[in-house]
Amino acid sequence: MSKIRVLVGTKKGAFILTADGQRKNWKVSGPHFAGWEIYHVKGSPADPNRLYASQTSGWFGQIIQRSDDGGRTWNTPGSSAEELKSPNGFPKGESNKFVYTGQAGTHKWYDGTQHPWEFKRVWHIEPSLTDPDVAYAGVEDAAIFKTTDGGKTWRELPGLRRAKGHLWQPGAGGMAVHTILLDPENEQRIYVAISAGGCFRTDDGGKTWKPITRGLKSLYELPDPAAEVGHCVHRIALHPSRPDVLFMQKHWDVLRTDNAGEEWREVSGNLPTDFGFPIDVHAHEPETVFVVPIKSDSEHYPPDGKLRVYRSKTGGNEWEPLAKGLPQKDCYVNVLRDAMAVDRLDKCGVYFGTTGGQVYCSADGGNSWDPVVRDLPAVYSVEVQTLK
């Protein structure tokens, strides 16, 4: 029977939630790395027991953790007991060394001046679809790094910052690569999204990148309607069967592209607000999309104190609220950009976490919801593994 493993990153540690395919009786493991901010935990599609976690602290900086047994034990890559006994001598302790390639350069600052690039933390780790030792890290200040040795060392793919990086600017939450999508049909193609840099694509494995923002409008942020970079893209998502179709939740508007980002069009339709963070696609229905509308960029909580996921079964424009099982009064939590995921069971499960510490699960494609846990620290990220 299938098993579900939900990987939750929070403000004060990581939690692992497990259940069988019924998704009713959950076991909670954690906190792992108690007291540290866990921006993201994600498993390798090529080896589900290989997990990567980004552990950060305002005091002690960045740590990368890796598990090779599904989250039971963890080590910073290169420092497991076996590796410490290796004939190669002491490990170098470089699994948390994120150094920009060459001259770090500058980007746009809040006052319009140029500001030096400074590494702060890893927001998102995207493991390769085929090799458990390969993964990409999206970091703040915005850049993408790659490991080919299971996280022991990381090297920047500097071509991304050459895509007009001097015009990227931090939003209120910082300036980070927060989304990395790997094309399952073309390993040379990668998409990334940056707040507030925009959306970018490489077709040569990360050597060169180009902005893919035609059709995006950010009038209150970028008066120039033809601006290629600087858009505050909150999240992008794709269905693996159609990697040229992307959906986007932007600071304003929900959009889609049908040609790998060459042209976007707005599909906000009847959504109650134009603002939100996460967006995801149903596991088996490529035209079914989920978002969580948030009242505005000034308030960051659900409209009318009612927590509702919105689902479109038509690839956008026509949206229906999903509220069964979710709080419908006095609810003022937020759902952050990396805090929604779907499983791949026949009846697709949808999951999201809130800044109030709840993780909700719908085992019926969004029709009804149940809390898995209610009182975790603020949830930063949710990922789901469907295990055989």
Task: Write out the residues near other proteins by the rule CB under 8 A.
Answer: 35-36, 57-63, 76, 78-79, 90-94, 96-99
Give the nearest distance from C-beta 79 to other proteins in angstroms.
5
Q: In this complex, which beta carbon is closest to other proteins, that of residue 55 or of residue 179?
A: 55
| Contact criterion met (CB below 8 Å) for 212 and 201 | yes
Give the nearest distance from C-beta 23 to other proteins in angstroms.
33
Q: In this complex, which beta carbon is closest to other proteins, that of residue 26 or of residue 74?
A: 74
Give the nearest distance from C-beta 377 to other proteins in angstroms.
11
Spatial distance between the Cα atoms of 234 and 274, rounded to a whole number of angstroms: 12
Give the nearest distance from C-beta 340 to other proteins in angstroms.
25
Q: In this complex, which beta carbon is closest to other proteins, that of residue 97 or of residue 115?
A: 97
Residue among 230, 200, 94 at smallest CA distance from 138: 200
Residue among 124, 108, 96 at smallest CA distance from 161: 108
Give the nearest distance from C-beta 96 to other proteins in angstroms.
5
Q: In this complex, which beta carbon is closest to other proteins, that of residue 76 or of residue 273?
A: 76
Q: In this complex, which beta carbon is closest to other proteins, that of residue 94 or of residue 244?
A: 94
Q: In this complex, which beta carbon is closest to other proteins, that of residue 97 or of residue 344?
A: 97
147-to-12, 56, 100, 134 alpha-carbon distances in Å? 26, 18, 14, 5
Give the nearest distance from C-beta 62 to other proteins in angstroms.
7
Q: In this complex, which beta carbon is closest to other proteins, that of residue 44 or of residue 62?
A: 62
Give the nearest distance from C-beta 168 to other proteins in angstroms.
22
Give the nearest distance from C-beta 131 to other proteins in angstroms.
25
Q: In this complex, which beta carbon is closest to other proteins, that of residue 35 or of residue 269?
A: 35
